[in-house]
Amino acid sequence: MELRQLRTFVAVAELRHFARAASLCNRSQPAVSHQIALLEEEVGAKLLNRARRVSLTVAGEVFLEEARRILGAVDRAHERMQEVARGAVGRIRLGATATPGSYLLPALLAQYRSEHESYDLHFEIGPIHAIAERVARNDLDMAIVAGALPSGELRARGLSRDELVLIAPPNSPLARARVVKPSQLEAETWLLREEGSDTRRQLAAWWHRQRLAPTRKMTFDNPDAVKRAVMAGLGVAMVSRLTVEEDLASRRVALVRIKTGLPTREFSVVDHPQKHHGAACRAMLQLLERTFPTRAASPRPRKSAE
Q: Is the pTM of this model over 0.75?
A: no
Kindly indicate the confidence band of residue 301, based on its pLDDT and cuts at 50, 70 and 90: very low
Rounded CA-CA distance 22/20 in Å is 5
CA trace torsion 76, 81, 82, 83 (10° rounding): 90
- Written as one letter, the residue type at 148 is A
Q: DSSP string spanning 261-303?
A: PPPEEEEEEEE-TTPPP-HHHHHHHHHHHHHSTTTTTSPBPP-
Q: Which of 196-205, 228-237, 293-302 is predicted least confidently?
A: 293-302
Instruction: Spell out the residues 6+ positions from residue 88 whose beta carbon is closer than 8 angstroms to its own.
Output: 118
Span 195-207, mean pLDDT? 94
pLDDT at residue 261 is higher than 80: yes
pLDDT at residue 111 is higher than 90: yes
The pLDDT of residue 84: 65
- Written as one letter, the residue type at 23 is S
End-to-end Cα separation, the chain, in angstroms: 51
Contact 240, 103 (CB under 8 A): yes
Share of the chain above pLDDT 90, in %: 59
Query: Which has the higher per-residue pLDDT, 17 or 105?
Result: 105
pLDDT at residue 74 is higher than 90: no
Query: Which has the higher per-residue pLDDT, 299 or 204?
Result: 204
Helix (H) or strand (E) holding 115: helix 106-115
pLDDT at residue 5 is higher than 50: yes
Rounded CA-CA distance 171/54 in Å is 94
